[in-house]
Structure 1
Amino acid sequence: MDSLPSTPSDSSVLPQGCQQLGRLGASPLHEESLHPWTSRDQLVDLLLVLAATQTAEHEGISAAGSTAASRRFTALADAELLIHGPAGQRRWPLPPLPAGVSPALLSHVAARRLKLNPQVAALGLTQRPNFPHLEIEALDQGPSACLSSGAAMPLPRVQHLWRRGELLGRRLQRPLVLAECVPGGTTTAQAVLTALGVEVAHLISGSARHPPQQLKQALVTGGLQRASLGAHPAPEQILAAVGDPFQAFASGVLVGAVSSGQPLLLGGGCQMLAVLALAMQALPASQRERLASQVLIGTTGWLADEGAAATSQSPLGGLVDATAGLVDTSLSVLACGVRFHSSTHQPLLDYERGYVKEGVGAGALLLLAQLRGCTCSDLVRDCERALEQLLNRPVTSTP
């Protein structure tokens, strides 16, 4: 880590409340590096990747749906909410949550402000989406197996997803916002980063107010023991053992984007750090800094601040540094400034209590809206109005 640049960022270029994560591993941020995201004249594409893993079937592993059955439809319901909004007609009911509201509501608000038209890619779902989507693989592939098996996906499937992602990345013609919805995805992220050699068990969050760290670690340990990957496994071997379909596809997108040279805004926290680490490991050392210069990770303030009161740096900030140390280059990770302290709507206030925190690209899209001139107060007000619409508009049918 001593070789990483430590030039301070210019905090004046960041909108209200936004913060940069990481210390030794934080890349300097200046107006030029943020220009693709601050320029209102620059057209941007938005891709939401839906995927499923049987890791999410474990009781208590994820709060993205209160039951294993409901989590099978979380991705579809969130995608519909992002596309059609709270007042639109939707087929898939949002899964019951312990508290809060789907982050897709926040994503929709920001995407609407930005006038973005979301595209959706579907991987390994149990049901075919009833909305337009990119078909990356055959529907009958189904969810990846639980990572505890040590055999999450056949290697040919991983290779196919990676190639399809790489092709998309090479063909990018505009900056891309990449978002995901993968119940159980923080656990597969933990497994991938652990397999890459990073000690991350104490740095990984999740959708629950109190993430089930012992359960996550037990699944990861069991899966890696069964996989017997040996020293220095290749990224595709790691994915086949303990990954999920989103990770395979997204890693390919990042590798392909080196050829297109297009900037990437990755929406999330540990899941996006995991795919960035996989892509970096697959690239020659000479191209890693180039990819790092193209990538900005955007997350929410709730995830960025989680656990920060107990230590000098939040777990997510520590994860940024740990990942930067692994790939030996500095990284750009920003949290948006939107908070709900002043809201009178309980599902939004629940975010301040530690529920939900992030998902469906919420942090990245809110960050992008701020970078392009939207104020926090306007975004909060839009979220409140959207929530009111959501609570007064039932879905049109059930699956």
Structure 2
Amino acid sequence: MVLMIKEFGDINLNDFKNDFAYILVIGTTDISLIPGITIAGATPELTHFTPAADAEYIILGKCKSINTIPVSPSGIPTPALVTRAALSFINPLKLVVNAGSRVLPKIPFIDLQGEPGRDIRKYALSLEKVNSIIENGMKLGEELSNAFKVLVIGESIPAGTTTAMATLAALGYDAIDKVSSASPDNPKELKRRVVLEALKSLPTDLNQKLAKVSDPVLLGVASISLGFKGKVLLAGGTQMVAAAAIIKELNKNKIHDIVIGTTKWIIEDKSADMLGLSKQVGVRVLVSMLNFSISKFDGIKAYEMGYVKEGVGAGGSAIMAFIRGITNEQLVEKIDELYQKLLSSNA
């Protein structure tokens, strides 16, 4: 089990053996409509359906908002497949939290009364909605503390690495060109141009800064974590470093309860610097050493070539499965089984 998890920082894995709730925070940013900035959807327009479809798939095992699960333009499936497979071995409480999604999922969800993120080059969110997401997220985190000692929080927001880079840079971190991408060809130049434009005339007030350059999901993830009294596994890649940075800004002591759980593909991404960013923020990292080369399907094997890499809590969910003794072989077999089911139902 331990061989399947790498630790960066002093982490007690026993902390994560407790019962936990899996929370998926969804939202959209209009940055995903910029052609070429993300492959988290078959077209830029379809990226606004991806979070709702991911949420539906996690809860139902099928999608209602679109006909099939979200795929990249080349047909590689959403990491929600990995998350659903990993969680099927544990069966925790699963909750979907809408921080600000343009398309609402057709399932029960908790609403933080946020709004979809607009273009960060102009202004992403109203200050009123930033305050609403933070306040409501913290209240939700507090309530979840009554039932759980651990939260695993995943995210779904196409183009979220660009808003994460802008958020980290706005908070004073050396983050330009250091965030990952769902594509093996990280569109760094495009992201950099967007972020540098967004950082012009930055307000000095923290919440105003976040309103200018952040996204609803980062705020939702951070605020739920802030309200929660136990340990939090931020299940994701470089976006979760930005969430951790927001947590640290709002309560520097809370960072000690936070661990990021990600995949080996994020750590191995030479176009990014996940561990360097984590070190800057001072947040510890767990890595699931997943190996999809044994899959029967090219769409799953593509993860080994740098496609998708992470999202929807895939890495953190795999870590929770590995901690409980599930093997990589068992997990890949389950992923293949779920993928086969999807291919059959769409045939």
* TM-score normalised according to structure 1 size: 0.82
Counterpart mapping for 1:139-154 below 5 A: 141=115, 143-149=116-122, 151-154=123-126
Partner of 1:328: none
Q: Out of 15, 18, 34, which is 2:2 matched to? A: 15
User: CA RMSD, aligned part only?
Assistant: 1.8
Q: Out of 117, 120, 130, which is 2:93 matched to? A: 117
> Percent identity, aligned pairs only?
29
Q: Say whether 1:273 aligns with 2:236.
A: no
Larger radius of gyration: 1
Distance in 2 (alpha carbons) for counterparts of 1:365 and 1:235 = 31
Partner of 2:284: 332
Q: Say whether 1:297 aligns with 2:271.
A: no
- Answer whether contact 2:57 2:63 (CA < 8 A) is retained: no
Q: Which runs of 5+ in 2 are unaligned?
A: none
Q: Say whether 1:63 aligns with 2:39.
A: yes
Paired AA for residue 318 in structure 1 = G
Partner of 2:26: 50
* Displacement of 1:129: 2.1
Q: Deviations over 1:228-281 (max 9, x none)?
A: 32xxx3431221110111122222222222xx2x11111101111101111111
Ranges of 4+ aligned residues in structure 1 off by more than 3 Å:
88-91
Answer 1 or 2: which has greater strand percent.
2
Partner of 1:347: 299
* Displacement of 1:91: 4.4
Distance in 1 (alpha carbons) for counterparts of 2:322 and 2:293 = 18
* TM-score normalised according to structure 2 size: 0.93
Distance in 2 (alpha carbons) for counterparts of 1:203 and 1:377 = 32
- Answer whether contact 2:83 2:318 (CA < 8 A) is retained: yes
Distance in 1 (alpha carbons) for counterparts of 2:98 and 2:255 = 26
Partner of 1:36: 15
Partner of 2:162: 187
- Answer whether contact 1:152 1:240 (CA < 8 A) is retained: yes
Distance in 2 (alpha carbons) for counterparts of 1:148 and 1:49 = 23
Aligned residues: 342
Paired AA for residue 355 in structure 1 = Y
Distance in 1 (alpha carbons) for counterparts of 2:311 and 2:220 = 18
Q: Say whether 1:316 aligns with 2:274.
A: yes
Partner of 1:373: 325
Paired AA for residue 13 in structure 2 = L
The 1:349–1:122 alpha-carbon spacing in structure 2 relative to 1, beyond 3 Å, is same
Partner of 2:313: 361
Distance in 2 (alpha carbons) for counterparts of 1:368 and 1:19 = 13
SS of 2:117's equivalent?
coil
